Structure 1
Amino acid sequence: MKKILTVFVAAFLLVGCDDLFTPAIENNKQVSDGLEDPLYAEGILANAYTRNPYNSQSFNDVATDDAVTNQTSNSYLKMATGSWTSNNNPMDQWGSCKAAIHYINLFLTQVDQVSWVKDPVVNKMFCDRLKGEAYGLRAMFNFYMLQAHAGYTEDGRLMGVPIVEELEDETSNFNYPRNTFDECIQAIYDDVQRAEELLPLDYENISSDAEVPEVYRSEGANFSQYNIVFGNNFRSRMSGRIALAFRAKAALLAASPAFAEGSKGTWAEAADYNGEILDLIGGVAGLAAQGNTWYKNADEINSLTGGSNPQEMLWRNGKDATAYSLEQAQFPPSLYGSGQINPTQNLVDAFPMANGYPIDSPEAGYDDQNPYANRDPRLALYIVVNGTVMGTDGKTIDTSVDNTSNNDGLNKENGYSTRTGYYLRKHLREDVYLSSTTTTGQPHYSPRIRYTEIYLNYAEAANEAWGPTGTGLHGYSAYDVIKAIRQRAGIKDASGNDPYLESVKNDQAKMRDLIRNERRLELCFEGFRFWDLRRWNMDLNEPAKGIRISGGTYQVFNVESRTYNDFMRFGPIPYSEVVKFDALEQNKGWD
């Protein structure tokens, strides 16, 4: 993919180089050139791939009650504290996603005319696969646009984004009105169906002609030819399974409280689309045993080759073999990091006790002056608390205000210390070594879609559709999923049971709260909290809190206020777009 994109970009860089090439026109690649140059033609699609919002980690959690940052220039910090406008929107997906869809539509006008290979059967397979990828990608980008920009207009209609499925050129109108939210959801479903018809569920090599799909076997394709087009060399591309995941994500969005009143989305549909994916991996039995430590499973990460996925990953980014930049940004200062993302007391309090009870339950046994004892093991996995031992040298991190030995303590003046009394631990490889003179990196990768997300999607939707223990068309319930996730986390009482879960298993409202909390914990610092709060119609203005430790006492304090208006439950259409196009209605409340 990188080679394809390099060729594509290099071709466009030739445009305008009249002073270097004579005659310049002979060096300008045209779209029509792709008909005889398959590498260049595929580069058009590659351009869309590069615009995936989940190609990198944004840490937009600092716009929520889960985290703050010590970077005063951080755009999410400014957004959360009163600077969010329609022309200053860090959550914007409009320009990038629309550009990607433009390249996809351009590619779809060309793909059937390109000579991919000389063999007609293999050529047809290439056409089918690449069209399938394009439809799946278009569904993905429409989902991200919808999540970021759908909302109610001044007259109370729930609107989505303009659906553009034809190639735009210099003669196009461009002044499109927004389609309804339901029309956008249906467009995503339609593109997923097209992708599913053309793509394999997964890219895997086969070993016999009998395994070749009938549509190609009937035309004479053998398994070697099939592997050239649909084999495991393409594991990182859009597949049928990935496309189904975006349909499942869109269905959950449509059924959610913020959108349900104005859409046709149902919880049962969301449960079934997410359950369909889980059924492919054996339902609850398919939950990866090490899925909650995916970022630090060294043996698993080291063995990843050729686009292969760990059990936890439905889709992932590529592996960086010797990375350490994440640790430089997030390690505490005493480990030569900048401590940029600081989890809040709000999030710490969301982790239950090891026996499964919330910390405010009488049965919890929580001690606010010994707050990290006997807690959910995930707290120690994801967050650096006072007394955490971490790093290759086993350093004890002191976040108290009394710390005079280094800059790990609360609000030191170096600008790299914690503002909340906590540092980030999730995502980090603690076998990375940093010092003032040397660094030793380790392999890293990041998820695009984890199966744990799909499990939690299903649990949320199944609970709403059929109650905590209802299964619908599937053999497992919301209760079954949450039980498996909490067992994996190590939650249990002295008898090995989860009494809190058992106490809420017949109460839909309490199970709803538990599912939402499990989602908050399992998916923390992966870019979900902001979108979840909005689609649940929950309070965006919960102040970010921290812990001040001094003289052995623990005192909670407010670190940072949140400044959101009610209309901000739905993001804006970019100001520059509504100024240019009068058919484009803005969401209510935004200028």
Structure 2
Amino acid sequence: MLTMKNIIKLVVLVLLFTACDDMFEPALENNRGLDAMYNEPTYAQGILANAYILLPYSSTPNSDVATDDAVTNDNENDYLAMATGSWTASDNPMSQWQGRRNAIQYINLFLANTNEVVWSKDEVINTMYNDRLKGEAYALRAVQMYSLLLAHGGWTAGGELLGIPIITEPETADSDFNLPRNTFQECIDQIIADANTALDLLPLDFGDISDGEIPSKYQSLGVTNAGDYNRVNGNHMRGRITGRIIEAVRAQAALLAASPSYNSGTTVTWEDAANFAADVLDRVGGPSGLATDGHTWYANISQIEGLASGVAPPEIIWRGDVGQNNDLETDNFPPSLYGNGRVNPTQNLVDAFPSLDGYPINDPSSGYDPANPYANRDPRLNDYIVVNESTQGPNSDVIVTGTYSDNNDGINKENGLSTRTGYYMRKLLRYDCNPNPEFDTEQKHYTARIRYTEIFLAYAEAANEAWGPTGTGGNTYSAYDVIKAIRERAGIGQDNGDAYLESVKGDQDKMRELIRNERRIELCFENHRFWDLRRWDVANLNETARGMRIDDPNGTYTYSPIDVESRNYADYMYYGPIPYGELQKWSNLEQNAGW
């Protein structure tokens, strides 16, 4: 069998099905129909490969610039337009409608035909292939449906919480396309059902095993040679979706359904969400299994350089392919380093980082000094954000973002190039890239699709709501235990036993605030903040993005917070719209309230 990389090269075979006249049947001049896949496994896998190509993950922090965490200096940016009042049902950069539904069509085509495919002439090996590929298909459908629900689920004017139309069979030219939306709960049930089916079919991880490790279900079919199993599920399959990954997706979906914006319309509880997350975390030993360098996964250079094909570092549950480029650096390095400075962290986000002793900077115990605001702060601030007079990397010059800068790195020095907030993004970037056209140095990067830290934070959030800060609900660790491990890894509160955490561990409301803040810090610039603000139903979605103007008139720095960008979200925008064009075509589709 071919690897995913090779299958994607063959995806041109499947594009026969995507022409506007031939979406459901090959054109007359095509002499190959769906039945051609039955004796051509690569052709069959090409259909499923489209669901991988259409995965909903981004390598760039697109949506963050529409939140209180960042702005962009690109005046033509769609997310800037969205955040400042131009978001409509017909102009929606957050829409997932078409891409996800296209992927689901490919998945359903595959599932409807896979049992007829001759994957191997050996009956038992054929069964193993069919199991694995069906498992991948069910898992991928859960991923695609979760993304659809995240973007388009919401309350209607009639007070019903709806999701999207559930489609589990391939659509043909004779299908009824005028389908109503299923309820949000029905969509969650379908996602969890698909995830559970996938778990029955997929290995926890792909990898070569020995004869004694052959799963019992295949031993009962007569598989005694690990080589036969490895041919189907061995090292060469790493990088595809697995049982471990779909457990994490199930936890994501449960957290969404249990969240304040949705929980009155679902039966999913905080306890359910916590336990689904625990299924993932127990496999690494709970908080003790938190990767020690996981918070700098993007900058762990020796680790990235040494990644074998499909292998994920300890922090990563699922990653994208490793690519050699400097695209992120070209977009986001300061101008003096030949970058475009696109994503500018806000003062709002900078203020979220506590002091080194763990106290929020607005707490008198923090020792925060407004005249020296970047001193004695959470080390993650320097890991993720370039502040005034810091460097982009150990070999770069000092970056001056203040008004006294003698180049375009300074705040608002050059429209469309310089920072608007007084900060540049460091997270996701490799300092050893050099966009200078004279050198154009590229390095390896990958997209972290799902991180363990995200699932740890999901558990902490759900466990705190279900059982309080120190309750475990039958698990072996609490929300407090998780947050303590994350903050210890970051290096904060080490000299005082993290006194702030200790002071809030008996208060569910204060612990909720701390968990949300830790989630904001740990997952910044990874396209989580927008969705978190919406599912929490909090006012931050409309918070003015702020920056810091730093002057040096007489050799003494002055720090002046400034308003940078007003947000213009209406209350109904906590739930995304169904595309206007779809409503025009299909009368049974009901729009979310307000759109």
For the criterion TM > 0.5, the same-fold answer is yes
Contact kept, 8 Å, 2:75 with 2:416, in 1: the verdict is: no
Equivalence for 1:586: 591
Equivalence for 2:559: 554
1:522 and 2:522 equivalent? yes
SS at match of 1:556: strand
Equivalence for 2:429: 428
SS at match of 2:564: strand
Contact kept, 8 Å, 1:479 with 1:505, in 2: the verdict is: yes
Contact kept, 8 Å, 2:310 with 2:321, in 1: the verdict is: yes
Equivalence for 1:148: 151
* Structure 1 segment 1-400 matched on structure 2, within 5 A: 1-10=4-13, 12=15, 28-208=31-211, 210-221=212-223, 222-320=225-323, 322-391=324-393, 393-400=395-402
* Partner Cα separation in structure 2 for residue 111 and residue 473 of structure 1: 41
Contact kept, 8 Å, 1:392 with 1:433, in 2: the verdict is: no
Change (3 A) 1:530 1:547: same
* Partner Cα separation in structure 1 for residue 334 and residue 579 of structure 2: 37
* Partner Cα separation in structure 1 for residue 14 and residue 320 of structure 2: 26
Cα deviation for residue 493 of structure 1 reads: 5.0
* Partner Cα separation in structure 2 for residue 450 and residue 411 of structure 1: 35
Contact kept, 8 Å, 1:392 with 1:432, in 2: the verdict is: no
Equivalence for 1:19: none
SS at match of 2:542: coil
Contact kept, 8 Å, 1:14 with 1:27, in 2: the verdict is: no
Equivalence for 2:511: 511
Aligned length: 579
Contact kept, 8 Å, 1:482 with 1:515, in 2: the verdict is: yes
* Partner Cα separation in structure 2 for residue 189 and residue 326 of structure 1: 35
Equivalence for 2:22: none
* Partner Cα separation in structure 2 for residue 564 and residue 14 of structure 1: 39
Deviates more, 1:366-375 or 1:408-417: 408-417
Contact kept, 8 Å, 2:13 with 2:43, in 1: the verdict is: no
Contact kept, 8 Å, 2:549 with 2:562, in 1: the verdict is: yes
* Partner Cα separation in structure 2 for residue 414 and residue 190 of structure 1: 50
* Partner Cα separation in structure 1 for residue 165 and residue 119 of structure 2: 32
Cα deviation for residue 413 of structure 1 reads: 2.3
Percent of paired sites with the same residue: 57
Contact kept, 8 Å, 1:407 with 1:417, in 2: the verdict is: yes
Equivalence for 2:487: 486
Contact kept, 8 Å, 2:135 with 2:201, in 1: the verdict is: yes
* Partner Cα separation in structure 2 for residue 250 and residue 28 of structure 1: 42
User: Structure 2: 5+ residue runs without aligned partners?
Assistant: 20-26
CA displacement, residues 270-307 of structure 1 (integer Å, 9 cap, x when unaligned):
00000111001101111000000100101111110121
Change (3 A) 1:150 1:26: closer
Contact kept, 8 Å, 2:14 with 2:46, in 1: the verdict is: no
Equivalence for 1:20: none
Cα deviation for residue 365 of structure 1 reads: 0.8
Cα deviation for residue 361 of structure 1 reads: 0.3
Cα deviation for residue 494 of structure 1 reads: 3.3
Equivalence for 1:567: 572
SS at match of 1:559: strand
* Partner Cα separation in structure 2 for residue 338 and residue 492 of structure 1: 36
Deviates more, 1:460-469 or 1:116-125: 116-125
Cα deviation for residue 415 of structure 1 reads: 2.3
SS at match of 1:65: coil
* Partner Cα separation in structure 2 for residue 343 and residue 11 of structure 1: 42
* Structure 1 segment 526-541 matched on structure 2, within 5 A: 526-539=526-539, 540-541=541-542
Equivalence for 1:402: 404
Write the letter of the residue equivalent to 1:467: G
Cα deviation for residue 433 of structure 1 reads: 2.2
SS at match of 1:188: helix
Write the letter of the residue equivalent to 2:115: D
Cα deviation for residue 56 of structure 1 reads: 3.1
Cα deviation for residue 7 of structure 1 reads: 2.0
Contact kept, 8 Å, 1:152 with 1:588, in 2: the verdict is: yes
SS at match of 1:250: helix
Contact kept, 8 Å, 1:407 with 1:414, in 2: the verdict is: no
Contact kept, 8 Å, 1:391 with 1:432, in 2: the verdict is: no
Write the letter of the residue equivalent to 2:72: T
CA displacement, residues 362-395 of structure 1 (integer Å, 9 cap, x when unaligned):
1011111110000000000000000112336331
Write the letter of the residue equivalent to 2:339: G
Cα deviation for residue 160 of structure 1 reads: 0.7
SS at match of 2:548: strand
Change (3 A) 1:171 1:284: same
Cα deviation for residue 167 of structure 1 reads: 1.4
Structure 1 residue runs of 4 or more that deviate by more than 4 Å after TM superposition:
13-16, 24-28
* Partner Cα separation in structure 1 for residue 478 and residue 438 of structure 2: 53
Cα deviation for residue 10 of structure 1 reads: 4.6
User: Structure 1: 5+ residue runs without aligned partners?
Assistant: 17-23
TM-score w.r.t. length of structure 2: 0.95
Write the letter of the residue equivalent to 1:521: I
Change (3 A) 1:205 1:436: closer
Contact kept, 8 Å, 1:63 with 1:79, in 2: the verdict is: yes
* Partner Cα separation in structure 1 for residue 396 and residue 170 of structure 2: 57
Cα deviation for residue 30 of structure 1 reads: 2.1
* Partner Cα separation in structure 2 for residue 57 and residue 548 of structure 1: 26
Cα deviation for residue 15 of structure 1 reads: 9.8
* Partner Cα separation in structure 2 for residue 57 and residue 15 of structure 1: 27
TM-score w.r.t. length of structure 1: 0.96
Contact kept, 8 Å, 1:126 with 1:229, in 2: the verdict is: yes
* Partner Cα separation in structure 1 for residue 37 and residue 119 of structure 2: 10
Q: CA RMSD in A?
A: 1.4
* Partner Cα separation in structure 1 for residue 283 and residue 319 of structure 2: 18
Contact kept, 8 Å, 2:14 with 2:47, in 1: the verdict is: no
Contact kept, 8 Å, 1:381 with 1:425, in 2: the verdict is: yes
* Partner Cα separation in structure 2 for residue 269 and residue 12 of structure 1: 40
